[in-house]
Amino acid sequence: MTAASHTVGSFLFDYLYQQGVEHAFGIPGDFALPTFRWLDKSPIRLINMTHEPSVGFAADGYARVHGLGVAVVTYCVGGLNMLNSVACAYAEKSPVIVISGGPSPSDRKADPLLHHKVRTFDTQRRIFDEVTCASAVLLDPKTAASEIVRVVREVQAQCRPGYIEVPFDVVDMPIEPPALPNIPLPVSEPENLAAAIEDLTQMVEQAKNPVIIADVELHRHNLTDLAVDIAQKFNIPIAATLLSKSVISEQNPLYIGVYSGGLSEPQTQQFVEQSDCVIMLGAFITDMFLGFFTADLNRRKTVIATTEKIQIGLRRYDHVVFSEFLEKLLASNLRPKPAFENPVRFPEKNLLPQFTPDEPVSIEKFFAMLGAMMPEDATVVCDTGDALIGAINLRTSQRKNFIADAYYLSMGFAVPAGLGAMVANPDSRAMIIVGDGAFQMTGIELSTAVKEGLAPVVFLLNNDGYGTQRNILDGPFNDIQPWDYTKICELIQGGKGYRADTMQKLKSSMEEALADMDTMALIEVVVPRNDSSRSLRRLGEELGKLRDAEKKK
* pLDDT tens-place string over residues 222-241: 999 999 999 999 999 999 99
With b for 16 or more beta-carbon neighbours within 10 A and e for fewer, the 12-40 pattern comes to bbbbbbebebebbbbbbbebbebbbebbe
Q: Are strands 134-137 and 162-167 parallel, antiparallel or unpaired?
A: parallel
- Residue 553 has a pLDDT of 64
Is pLDDT above 80 for 4? no
Half-sphere exposure of 325 (CA within 13 A, CB side): 31
What's the length of the chain?
553
Is pLDDT above 90 for 541? no
Is pLDDT above 70 for 347? no
- Residue 95 has a pLDDT of 98
> Are the beta carbons of 457 and 484 closer than 8 angstroms?
no
**How far, CA to CA in Å, does 475 sit from each of 47, 215, 363, 440, 479?**
40, 36, 22, 19, 8
CB-based contacts of 120: which residues, under 8 Å, 6+ apart? none
What pLDDT, in 10s, does the model give residues 274-315?
Answer: 999 999 999 988 888 887 878 889 999 999 999 999 999 999
- Residue 349 has a pLDDT of 65
> Are the beta carbons of 161 and 131 closer than 8 angstroms?
yes
Q: What is the largest CA-CA distance in the chain?
A: 74
Is pLDDT above 60 for 7? yes
- Residue 400 has a pLDDT of 74
Is pLDDT above 90 for 82? yes
Residue 377: how many CB atoms within 10 A of its CB?
A: 13
Taking alpha carbons only, the member of 532, 349, 379, 364 closest to residue 457 is 379
Q: What's the CA angle centered on 54, arms 48 and 59, to 5 degrees?
A: 75
Taking alpha carbons only, the member of 87, 159, 185, 171 closest to residue 127 is 87
For residue 433, the SS3 value is: strand
- φ and ψ at residue 280, rounded to 5 degrees: -95, 115
Would you place residue 538 in the very low, low, confident or very high pLDDT band (cuts 50, 70, 90)?
confident
Would you place residue 3 in the very low, low, confident or very high pLDDT band (cuts 50, 70, 90)?
low
* Helices and strands: H and E segment counts in the chain: 22, 19
Q: Distance between CA atoms of 245 and 254, rounded to whole angstroms?
A: 14
What mean pLDDT is predicted for residues 114-134? 94
Q: Distance between CA atoms of 128 and 388, rounded to whole angstroms?
A: 28
What pLDDT, in 10s, does the model give residues 169-207?
Answer: 999 999 988 877 777 888 999 999 999 999 999 999 999
- Residue 521 has a pLDDT of 98
Q: Distance between CA atoms of 39 and 218, rounded to whole angstroms?
A: 32
What pLDDT, in 10s, does the model give residues 351-403?
Answer: 888 999 899 999 999 999 999 999 989 999 999 999 999 998 888 777 778 99
- Residue 48 has a pLDDT of 97
- Residue 384 has a pLDDT of 94
What pLDDT, in 10s, does the model give residues 328-346?
Answer: 999 999 999 998 888 887 6
pTM metric for this prediction = 0.93
Is pLDDT above 90 for 350? no
What mean pLDDT is predicted for residues 410-420? 98
Q: Distance between CA atoms of 163 and 96, rounded to whole angstroms?
A: 9
Could you give all domains of the chain from N- to C-terminal order, each with its CATH number? 8-172 (3.40.50.970), 190-331 (3.40.50.1220), 363-546 (3.40.50.970)
> Are the beta carbons of 286 and 176 closer than 8 angstroms?
no
- Residue 182 has a pLDDT of 76
- Residue 448 has a pLDDT of 98
Q: Distance between CA atoms of 133 and 469, rounded to whole angstroms?
A: 32
Of all residues in the chain, the percent with pLDDT exceeding 70 is 98
